[in-house]
Amino acid sequence: AQKITQTQPGMFVQEKEAVTLDCTYDTSDPSYGLFWYKQPSSGEMIFLIYQGSYDQQNATEGRYSLNFQKARKSANLVISASQLGDSAMYFCAMREAYNQAGTALIFGKGTTLSVSS
C-alpha cells in the first residue's frame, strides 16, 4: 500500500485564489513528520512546510499552511493568494521515526499546480 497518496495529478487555479493540494498518508508509527516540497520547472526541491505528528497546531509559513487532520491521516497544503510563481510540482513526503530507512523521506507522486492570470 502506498504510504503517501496525492490524488490530484494536476490542479488549476487563478491568480490570487486559494488552492488546496491533497495528501493522505499511512503509518503505524506514532512519531512521524510530514513535509511539503515545491519543485519548479528548473528541478530543484524547495522545502515549504513541516508538520510533526505531535504538533497541536497546524503549521503555517507565510502563504502556506498545512491542514493537518490526524484522525483522517491527511496533511493537505493550502496556498493562499496564488501567484504565477507558484506554478510547479508539489510533493508531500513523510518521515517515520522508526522506519527501517531511518530518517529518509517517503514521497508521494506529486501534484502539478498551474496558476493562470
Partner 1 sequence: DADVTQTPRNRITKTGKRIMLECSQTKGHDRMYWYRQDPGLGLRLIYYSFDVKDINKGEISDGYSVSRQAQAKFSLSLESAIPNQTALYFCATSESGGPNNEQFFGPGTRLTVL
Among 18-26, 68-76, 79-87, 98-106, which window interacts with partner 1 (CB under 8 A)? 98-106
CB atoms within 10 A of CB 24: 18
Among 18-26, 62-70, 72-80, 107-115, which window interacts with partner 1 (CB under 8 A)? 107-115
32 sits near partner 1 (criterion: CB under 8 A):
yes
Distances (CA, A) of 42 to 38, 84, 88: 11, 15, 9
Query: Which conformational region is residue 98 in: left (phi greater than 0), alpha (psi within -120 to 50 degrees), or beta?
Result: alpha
| Count of residues touching partner 1 (by CB under 8 A) | 28
96 sits near partner 1 (criterion: CB under 8 A):
yes
DSSP symbols for 49-85? EEEETT-SS--EETTEEEEEETTTTEEEEEE-S--GG
Binding residue for partner 1, selected from 33, 38, 76, 82, defined by CB under 8 A: 33
Binding residue for partner 1, selected from 25, 36, 68, 91, defined by CB under 8 A: 91
Please provide the size of the chain in residues: 117
109 sits near partner 1 (criterion: CB under 8 A):
yes
By CB under 8 A, name the binding residues for partner 1: 4, 31-33, 35, 37, 43-45, 47, 50, 52-53, 91, 93, 95-97, 101-110
